[in-house]
Amino acid sequence: MSWQKAFLQQLDEAGIFVKLEDVSPFVALWQIDDKHWQRFAELAAENKLRWAAGFAEQIDGQFYVHACFEKSGNYILLRATVNASKPELPSQATVYAAANRSERHTHDMFGIEFLNHPDPRCWMRHKAWGKHDYPLRHDFPVQGSPAEITPPDTDYHFIQSHGVGVYEIPVGPVHAGIIEPGHFRFQAVGELILNLEERLGYVHKGTEKIAEGRTPEGLAKLAGRVSGDTCVSHAWAACMAMEQAANVEIPPRAALIRGIFAERERIANHLGDIGAICNDVAFTFAFMQMMRLKELWCRTNYELFGHRSLMDKIVVGGVAVDVSEAASKFMLTDMTQLRAELADLIPAIDLNSSLEDRLYTAGYLSPETAAHFGTLGFVGRASGQDFDVRRDAPYAPYDSVAVKVAAENQGDIASRFWVRYKEINASLKLIEQFIEQLANLPEGDLVANWQTPKAESYGLGIVDGWRGEIISYVRFGENNTIARFYPRDPSQLNWEALEKAVLNNIVPDFPVCNKSFNCSYSGCDL
């Protein structure tokens, strides 16, 4: 008996009736009564399901709340209808820590109360809206009602520590470097970090709101801008969701090109991160060399495909550009050169004793804590979380190759460094395989014919971006327009794990701990 059947039987014995509907080969919609919302989470946790995402939507005056769970590469999209006159639901954050900020976001955007939530503080408001203004409700205008000056957000109560020698360090939201805004509040004794609390949302972009009413083409562009370093993967996830809703299958050639672009995106970011980790401990030589390699890699993107970050190259139904035979040869030569350069650089980095002193054992994230927060991508894989969508819930073109998943279990900064390096090598091999498959394909369509989906059709796109699993939910309204779009960046789960990884480290090690996670602010400030 599969785990789903055993789980359904357990739910039935608990008096939880489930209405089932298949979404895709790896995703099923399970609808339950709202009163069982928390009990479902408790039974899911007992059965070792991972909490992956949560969001809500408004349809015909009713609120629908969703939570996504995963086990062994199979996903459950759980849904419950909530009474619009008094929208409330038992909190799943009492069971899954990963649901904490997601439920707070849903509360701030929709006004849905999560009963017994462990942290009832607002997450996204920042005084931009009134207490009873909920931006994702249909009656809230896109432009809002902005005041001439937004009042200062002085009412947010950060956790405090007390005792002899305890002091507080506020950092941000404006930083000394050219990075996105986020606030970090430390409590420390001497240089030892006792507690860290983050607050994001300072550049809330209204992504979910402005998605409403867009065409599929417009949504693909918007999704590519959820997080600027993840243009390919976020656009792919959104397009996958739309293609599911419309029952459109992309051409094989387009799938291979998407795979090439996604792996090129992964390599570019890992090169930059390896260099940035070294830079944060003053190993400037490695920083300059890795950034040089990233720059050359991005220049190749521009020369062959017209954009350094491959923005807008993933379109609904396929891809916007082809990979010619000449481009394939150029990439293969480029990859040979990259391998040769890394073969010289990585041993020099590995043998640097001062770098070793700063990276090994620092920023430790235990496998238990990583699992508790549902951490993803290289952060999770460096702490024993052996999961990769490309292997465990494969989609074209990854269903035609063997995906080697890089993993470590030491859980420190060094582990996250080495997982990145291993992923670069694995991505290079994948690109080579995709190029070989392209060479054996006759030239054909790059974009499938679109067919307008029925109103209320929906899809759940799940891809493995360079930070890990990305989940995008799309529901269509009338006339081929978007009614709801929700993208879940991996950073939404990884940020809270960072708060735990820095405990008992010294304050000067926070920058490199932070960089070893490299969570996206923009991917959370929707």
**pLDDT confidence band for 160 (50 / 70 / 90):** confident
**Helix, strand, or coil (residue 469):** strand
Query: Which residues of the chain does CATH 3.30.460.80 include?
Result: 3-115
Q: Which two tokens stand for residue 163?
A: 């005792």
Residue 81 has pLDDT above 90, yes or no: yes
Residue 333 has pLDDT above 60, yes or no: yes
**pLDDT confidence band for 397 (50 / 70 / 90):** very high
DSSP 305-365: HS-TT-TT-EETTEESS---HHHHHHHHHHHHHHHHHHHHHHHHHHT-HHHHHHHTTTT--
- Please report where in the chains the tokens 């009163």 appear, as a residue: 35
Residue 55: partners with Cβ closer than 8 Å, 6 or more residues away: 65, 66, 102, 106, 473, 486, 488
**pLDDT confidence band for 163 (50 / 70 / 90):** confident
CA distance 246 to 447: 14
The strand order across the sheet containing 192-199 reads: 166-171, 183-189, 192-199
| CATH (residue range 3-115) | 3.30.460.80
| pLDDT tens digits, one per residue of 462-516 | 999 999 999 999 999 999 999 999 999 999 999 999 999 999 999 999 999 999 9
What is residue 177's predicted lDDT score, i.e. its pLDDT?
Answer: 76
Residue 369 has pLDDT above 80, yes or no: yes
**pLDDT confidence band for 2 (50 / 70 / 90):** confident
Residue 126 has pLDDT above 90, yes or no: no
Prior bond to 487 cis, omega within 30? no
Please report, in angstroms and rounded to a whole number, the separation of the first and last CA atoms in the chain: 40
Over residues 172-194, mean pLDDT: 89
**pLDDT confidence band for 413 (50 / 70 / 90):** very high
Q: Which two tokens stand for residue 463?
A: 């891809």
| pLDDT tens digits, one per residue of 289-315 | 999 999 999 999 999 999 999 999 999
Average pLDDT for the chain: 94
| pLDDT tens digits, one per residue of 93-125 | 999 999 999 999 999 999 999 999 999 898 987
| pLDDT tens digits, one per residue of 417-443 | 999 999 999 999 999 999 999 999 988
**pLDDT confidence band for 180 (50 / 70 / 90):** confident
- Please report where in the chains the tokens 């190759």 appear, as a residue: 401
What is residue 178's predicted lDDT score, i.e. its pLDDT?
Answer: 77
What is residue 164's predicted lDDT score, i.e. its pLDDT?
Answer: 87
CA distance 247 to 239: 12
- The pLDDT > 70 percentage for the chain reads 100
CA distance 263 to 249: 21
What is residue 394's predicted lDDT score, i.e. its pLDDT?
Answer: 96
| pLDDT tens digits, one per residue of 314-331 | 999 999 999 999 999 999
CA distance 497 to 513: 11
| pLDDT tens digits, one per residue of 241-284 | 999 999 999 999 999 999 999 999 999 999 999 999 999 999 99
Over residues 350-360, mean pLDDT: 90
CA distance 405 to 371: 17
What is residue 70's predicted lDDT score, i.e. its pLDDT?
Answer: 96
- Name residue 413's amino acid: I
What is residue 131's predicted lDDT score, i.e. its pLDDT?
Answer: 82
Residue 132 has pLDDT above 90, yes or no: no
- Top-confidence residue, 164 or 368: 368
CA distance 105 to 98: 13
What is residue 338's predicted lDDT score, i.e. its pLDDT?
Answer: 97
What is residue 111's predicted lDDT score, i.e. its pLDDT?
Answer: 94
Radius of gyration of the CA atoms of the chain, in A: 23
* CB 263, CB 289: distance < 8 Å: no
What is residue 154's predicted lDDT score, i.e. its pLDDT?
Answer: 82
**pLDDT confidence band for 146 (50 / 70 / 90):** confident
